[in-house]
Amino acid sequence: MGPLWLYRLYLRKGIQTALIRWSVLVSNLVGWVVILCVFPVPYLMFLSYRLGVSLWLRCRHRGEVKLMDASDAIFALPSADRPNSRAIVVSWIAVDGCVDILNFKERIRKRIQEDTWFQKLTFSFQFRLGYLVWKKDKCFSVDHHVKLIAEPEKASLEDLLEALQCRDFEVDRSPWEILVLMSGEKTTLIIRWHHCLADGPGMINGLSRLILDENPTSPIRKIPKRTATNLKTFFALLKSMFYLPTIMLWLSLIPEGNRLSVTHPTKRKRVFFSDPMPSEPLKRTAKKLACTINDIFISCVIQGYQMTLLRPTDTLSVAIPISLHRDSPQICNRVSPIRVPLPVAFDGEARIREIREMTRCLKASPDILCGYAVQHILSNVLPSWVSKSFRWAKVAGCVSNVASLLPSNARIQDHLVSSLCGFAPPLLDIGIAISLVSTGTSYHFAIMADQSAFKKSEDARIFLGTMVNHVDVLASAAGISREKSDSSTPSFSYIVPIIKYSMESEMMQKESLRGH
């Protein structure tokens, strides 16, 4: 299978598959002739310079300063030269009980000392000789990163998270923190970290290991680097790199017909999230429709865009993080964001079938590895000032399916963990990030958007409510009714009211938007 964009061309009547393949072959050959004539010399120059900088840092600082991988640096670029909170990921864990803050800090301090991976939490990042580097934080203290905060008198959790996202991490300090919020007999642990530390799923599960009580039935949570170095991946990269010129051309030319690409991001973020919903009906719906939970999630995202944000258009593309090691027993941090066109012209089960076919073509295409090569290998030798000069392809948003390995009986200081939720942040020119955060028994929909993406907070609530309602619509089409929450289902209703929208209100909103 060729690049994913071929899938869109296959749908056009009158175009022969063989003709498309030959045109792609010629396009790639011409592209590689241009690349080999223009880029080898500057690439080798930058590579030699990076190797020299790496050797100098190793000899000069003896391991206390080391170069940051490009896959990490891409998230830190907007933050190193001018502090900006766009790349800060936030999650939180609700605990049924009061957590002893002193014992909690001591546990974290012990884990950081004993586990080699958590040593990364003692480093900060800064510029050195044109590159971003990790530098040992000599003033590191758990007391500085784990803090008890007062419960807001009138503000909701949403308001608190929005205010926190306006706050940057201190310069020359490790970019993460855990805020402990007491609310009666319940505790909420708000966890914030910079995206350059790790990808969302890996970091959420890694920090869970940092703070949860020991559980012998839990899987081993190792957090590898974003960069995959095995031989199988290397040969797959070489094979897929042939399509690089065509894929890069497609990324730069695909049209966009919505208002979510933010040219000048603000410091203000809006956050919205649903109550936990039981995952068993969602799994049964996916099985009945012969699709995956991820397919249903993408369909919900399309429904939200159609309801609130799209101009009249049949083009919509989002960035989707794709894992390179789907079968690995470890938490996979090795992902590549892929720009994917979504089938906005379909509804209901027809849309699910279209998404399923699109996903099949995506998995069989070299797009994933080409994006991985550009982000993790080719750009790894470029100084930061060169990387910042690239014009990143604008997309409507980022869609992340974050599967947590949080066990159903997870505890902190012997108090039961009732829920976990989190947000993927809007990065670069992306105005909105939509997340499906799931555990074994429940899931959330969560949205973090730049203030300029949603002019009114009600628009975001309608977007979120439409997604929640669309799950019920698909379940009804499959003959499955969503179960009511019971005492065994975790809930955040003590902080945030449940967001519900009936079918009648959805249709009224849709007709109103069409009228405008």
pLDDT digits (tens, 9 = 90+) for 17-72: 666 677 778 878 888 888 888 888 888 888 899 899 989 988 888 878 888 887 77
Phi-psi region of 184 (alpha: psi -120 to 50; beta: other; left: phi over 0): left
**CA torsion, points 332, 73, 231, 358, in degrees to nearest 10?**
60
Rounded to two decimals, what is the model's pTM? 0.80
The per-residue pLDDT for 397 is: 73
The per-residue pLDDT for 79 is: 56
Q: Does domain 41-211 have CATH number 3.40.1000.10?
A: no
Each residue of 323-358: pLDDT tens digit? 655 443 333 444 566 777 778 878 888 889 888 888
Task: Inform me whether the pLDDT recorded for 452 exceeds 50.
Answer: yes
Each residue of 187-243: pLDDT tens digit? 999 999 888 887 777 777 777 778 888 765 555 455 555 555 566 666 666 777 777
Task: Inform me whether the pLDDT recorded for 482 exceeds 90.
Answer: no
Cβ-based neighbour number of residue 196 at 10 Å:
22
Cβ neighbours of residue 19 under 8 Å, at least 6 residues apart? none
The per-residue pLDDT for 445 is: 92
Residue with the larger pLDDT of the pair 418 and 390: 418
Distance CA 335, CA 233 (A): 12
Give the confidence band of 312 by pLDDT, cuts at 50, 70, 90: low
- CA 193-198-202 angle, 5° bins: 100
The per-residue pLDDT for 247 is: 73
Mean pLDDT (the chain, rounded) = 75
In DSSP terms, 422 is beta-bridged to: 91
The answer to whether domain 41-211 and domain 225-408+423-515 are alike in fold is yes
The per-residue pLDDT for 382 is: 78
The per-residue pLDDT for 30 is: 84
8 A C-beta contact, residue 423 and residue 85: no
8 A C-beta contact, residue 456 and residue 267: no
8 A C-beta contact, residue 370 and residue 247: yes
Average pLDDT on 163-185 reads 86
The per-residue pLDDT for 109 is: 92
Which CATH architecture group holds 225-408+423-515? 2-Layer Sandwich (3.30)
pLDDT above 70 as % of the chain = 71
Long-range CB pairs of 65-69, under 8 A, 24+ apart, other chains included: 65/128, 65/133, 65/134, 65/135, 65/136, 66/133, 66/134, 67/131, 67/132, 67/133, 67/134, 68/125, 68/131, 68/132, 68/133, 68/134, 68/196, 69/225, 69/226, 69/227, 69/376, 69/380
For the chain, the structural domain boundaries read: 41-211, 225-408+423-515
Closest CA to 225 of 192, 196, 193, 205: 196
The per-residue pLDDT for 220 is: 46
The per-residue pLDDT for 99 is: 92
